[in-house]
Amino acid sequence: MVTHFLVVLFLGYLSLSHADMHDKQVFKGKEIYISKVKKNWFDALDYCIKKDYSLLTIKSSEENENALAAIKKIMEKKDEDHIWIGGFQFQPDKPKTYRWVQNLRKIVDVFTDWAPGEPNHGRQINEFCMEIFTKKSANIDMKWNDHVCSKEQYFICEKRIK
Ligand SMILES: [Ca+2]
């Protein structure tokens, strides 16, 4: 009886723990989880960390292609142009000082796929957080952008596989 109760409790926990996320997408070196809920960038980061994930980081063209494939597959039918990933501008007075939150490496030192003219710091309206345009918006298809961190958007967590 107690065992039965514990099993029900555990299954309940499992389904609850994944209720906010789409099924994982598995690629070489990592699992990618796209959220079903919208959060601001900071809450999205906390959400991923609480699950022992990170907000998505992209360190090569291959990882970029994999992330875009996952976004395309899951976001295709959603009416949404933006999805958070794990880059942040660390020096507010110095645009383009973006780093990946997972290891704090400078993004310019790794691999970049910014949309034309980005990161533009929102033309002085304080864009410090990184996202990917998920659809053709302003003729920009699936490229990186900096955006206002307080916007509530879908987001991507990742878990690196060793
Ligand atoms: Ca921007």
Q: How many domains in the chain?
A: 1
- Pinpoint the alpha helices (H) of the chain: 2-17, 41-50, 61-75
Domain that holds residue 145: 25-160
Segment-wise mean pLDDT, segments of 10 residues, the chain, 162 residues: 62 62 93 96 97 95 95 85 94 84 89 91 83 75 92 96 84
Contacts of 102 (CB under 8 A, 6+ apart): 54, 55, 57, 86
Note the pLDDT of residue 11.
55
Would residue 8 count as lying in a domain? no
Which value, in Å, is the radius of gyration of the alpha carbons in the chain? 17
**Distance from residue 154's CA to the centre of ligand 1 (Å):** 17
Query: Is the omega angle on the peptide bond into residue 119 within 30 degrees of 0, that is, cis?
Result: yes
Residue 102 C-beta-side C-alpha neighbours within 13 Å: 16
Tell me what pLDDT residue 40 has.
98
Judge whether 18 lies within some domain: no
Q: Judge whether 95 lies within some domain.
A: yes
CA of 141 to the centre of ligand 1 (A): 14
Whole-model pTM: value is 0.85
DSSP state of 140: B
* pLDDT of the residue at 162: 79
**Spacing, Cα 120 to ligand 1 middle (Å):** 5
Q: How far is the CA of 138 from the centre of ligand 1 (A)?
A: 12
Could you tell me the distance, in angstroms and rounded to a whole number, from the CA of residue 2 to the centre of ligand 1?
54
Give exposure, 63-78, as e/b (b: 16+ Cβ within 10 Å): bbebbbebbeebbeee
Parallel/antiparallel/unpaired status of strands 54-55 and 154-160: antiparallel
Q: In this structure, is residue 30 part of a structural domain? A: yes
In the reported structure, the alpha carbon of residue 80 is separated from the centroid of ligand 1 by a whole-number distance in angstroms of: 16
CATH assignment at residue 48: 3.10.100.10
| Structural tokens at position 134 | 């998920």
Question: Is 101 a domain residue?
Answer: yes
For ligand 1, the distance from its centroid to the CA atom of residue 124, given in whole angstroms, is 10
